[in-house]
Each structure stands twice: as structure tokens, then as C-alpha cells.
């Protein structure tokens, strides 16, 4: 790496990492009907980091 360059990595523990809600999600908890952890993290990456999430 050159002087002034910066590299970083993020480690995610994917325990129940939701990619959309299951069809019966609202049967147990209504707020889970719109669950989308991956989508929320991807939106955060664009908003806060200014770039798409790379997985």
C-alpha cells in the first residue's frame, strides 16, 4: 500500500441474516413481515459509504 492509502474490512456473523421475510413471518411478530436485513445493510452502504455493498 502507498502512503495515505486506507483499506478496511468488515466481518459479519450471518446468524439469521434475513434476505426478505418468510411468508408466515407476521404470524409470530407483525414487525417481521417487512424484515430485510441484507437490504437494510445494502441501503446503509450506499447512504453512508457512497458505494454498493460488496459481498
Residue 1's pLDDT band (cuts 50, 70, 90): low
Q: Which has more pLDDT, 48 or 24? A: 48
Mean per-residue pLDDT, 1-21: 75
Q: How far is CA 7 from the centre of its chain?
A: 20
Please compute the mean of the pLDDT values over residues 21-26 and round it to a whole number: 82
Instruction: Report the chain's terminal Cα–Cα distance, integer Å.
Output: 22
The answer to whether 35 and 19 have CB atoms below 8 angstroms apart is no
Burial 9-28 (b: 16+ CB within 10 A, else e): eeeeeeeeeeeeeeeebeee
Which of the four pLDDT bands, split at 50, 70 and 90, describes residue 37?
A: confident
Residue 29, pLDDT > 70, answer: yes
pTM above 0.95, yes or no: no
Amino acid at each position: 500500500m502507498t502512503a495515505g492509502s486506507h483499506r478496511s474490512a468488515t466481518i459479519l456473523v450471518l446468524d439469521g441474516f434475513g434476505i426478505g421475510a418468510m411468508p408466515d413471518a407476521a404470524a409470530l411478530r407483525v414487525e417481521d413481515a417487512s424484515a430485510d436485513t441484507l437490504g437494510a445493510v445494502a441501503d446503509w452502504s450506499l447512504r453512508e459509504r457512497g458505494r454498493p455493498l460488496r459481498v
